[in-house]
Amino acid sequence: MDKIVVLDFGSQYSHLICRRIREFSVYAELVPFDITVEELTKMNPKGIIFSGGPASVYNSGAPIPENKIFEMKLPILGICYGHQLIVNNYGGKVKRANKEYGSSLLTIDDDSDLLSGLGKSIRAWMSHGDEAEQIPKNFEVIGHTESAKAAAIVNMEKSIYGIQFHPEVVHTEQGTEILKNFVLKICKAKQEWTMKGFVEKTVKDISKIDGNVLCAVSGGIDSTVTALLIHRAIGERLKCIFVDNGLLRLNEEKEIGEMFTKNFKVNFIKIDAKKQFLTKLDGVSDPEKKRKIVGEEFVRIFTDFAEKNGPFRWLAQGTLYPDVIESGVSKGPASVIKTHHNVGGLPDWLKLQVLEPLRELYKDEVRKVAKILGVPQKLLMRHPFPGPGLAVRVIGEVTEKKLEIAKTASKIVEEELEKAKWYDKVWQAYAAVGEDKAVGVVGDERKYGNIVMVRVVDSVDAMTADWTRLPDGLLEKISNRITNEINDVTWVTYVISSKPPATIEPQ
């Protein structure tokens, strides 16, 4: 399968480059900037992209790729910092400039190649503090802005391109078309990455493994798709385990049991471990500790089950690409945003081998796979739920009272969104509760109660998200129901932070 390799220099947008390329059916993979030529050659890419990044090429310790990569005679596209790397490598000059962050008008000077089909100009998203003062010999300018005279450059002989702006973000007009020009026309990559092909290859690969598999299922789309893929490959050698950890949505433990027994013909067993989890979380406030505790307890339960009911060789999980990136255990140099309970939260003593068939997929790709596997529409459109459950939506210490508030308030949010036909329009919606309290008036009496935070976001792949502009009347209904139906709540707030800089979950 043809592929494009993206070298990660630490940009918050690095993953989006892969995401956009996959949208037009070409496989793209993110790798660390210091990958060796030998490793890169084994991957056999059709082209290479250098991502952006926060460093300056002229500073000591700046991330620099192996020089032989430039000699591989493959098309290269440098974005932002990657653009400056190309300028610096070929003898041009990069200088400190006034920071440019936001939309700029890109004037297209040559529309015959990378920038073909875009018209005379587009709005392009800039995010940089350096710029090319002098471009290298044998390079020419193909696009400029008012402040960046070499916003797009090319060496036609070597098929090496540099652009100062970010085509991968939605703020750049026709940014996907620029990536298409590079990937399809310049690299001549074939559009072979499809979810149907992924299913066929994954089932074929899993069918070759030895031993029995335990699959952790939560009722969410990721673990359900994981279970169905594995079941299609190995049949009765799979056993699905659902653990009720007391940190689930309201009445979710009943719904999940019914869903698996009625819709899917797989070996399914439920384990009640509410007391075990809540005891371990007692008195713990730090979110990273909570995530690790939840991850470790899950594995302890699966390990105990495997030892008593085995033999089992594998533990399967619905880990996705964003989970891997955010936990800092991806192939790239991403910093740890938060430890996912099923990635960075796995303990060292785990004896079972981990099987993660969705590890390279984004959430919307998983939904496409789910459709192929015949997952019911209701589950297909169900909002994501964090693996550690309400442990990360209860800020601070996890208590029975705060858990009940989070469960009930979240149910109210979902019910009102469904009534208003907004549920399927948004990516995720829930209510969280923390340590803060506020004064309210109930029945003419002063009351000191909890503050509930309502969070509703729009997203495609969970790597970026924007807060949803719900109608005022809908927000009013949600607030009134929460304060009227939950005795311990006096205030309801609406979270209007996007990702980045915030994350979708509060912890």
Catalytic residues: 80, 166, 168
For the stretch 452-474, what's the b/e string if a residue is b when 16 or more beta carbons lie within 10 angstroms of its beta carbon? bbbbbbebebbbbbebbebeeeb
Give 213's DSSP letter: E
Position 207, amino acid = S
Closest CA relative to residue 393, chosen from 427, 433, 436, 342: 433
The continuous run of DSSP H or E covering 176 comes out as helix 175-180
Angle between the N-to-C axes of helices 195-206 and 221-234, in degrees from 0 to 180, rounded to the nearest 10? 50
Q: What residues pair up with 442 in beta bridges, in sequence order?
A: 445
The continuous run of DSSP H or E covering 412 comes out as helix 400-419
For the stretch 44-63, what's the b/e string if a residue is b when 16 or more beta carbons lie within 10 angstroms of its beta carbon? ebbbbbbbbbebbbeeeeeb
Residues 6+ apart with CB under 8 A from 397: 282, 283, 284, 285, 435
- Distance from the first to the final alpha carbon of the chain: 38
CB 136 within 8 Å of CB 121 = no
Instruction: Quote the tokens at residue 332.
Output: 């790239």
Q: What residues pair up with 4 in beta bridges, in sequence order?
A: 28, 47
Question: Is 159 in a helix, a strand, or coil?
Answer: coil
Give CA–CA dist 496/382, Å, rounded.
Answer: 22
Strand 465-467 relative to strand 489-494: parallel, antiparallel, unpaired?
unpaired
Position 222, amino acid = D
Distances (CA, A) of 101 to 80, 129, 142, 153, 351: 12, 8, 21, 20, 48
CB 456 within 8 Å of CB 468 = yes
Give 316's DSSP letter: E
The continuous run of DSSP H or E covering 490 comes out as strand 489-494
Strand 3-8 relative to strand 121-134: parallel, antiparallel, unpaired?
unpaired
Strand 121-134 relative to strand 140-144: parallel, antiparallel, unpaired?
unpaired
Give CA–CA dist 292/484, Å, rounded.
Answer: 35
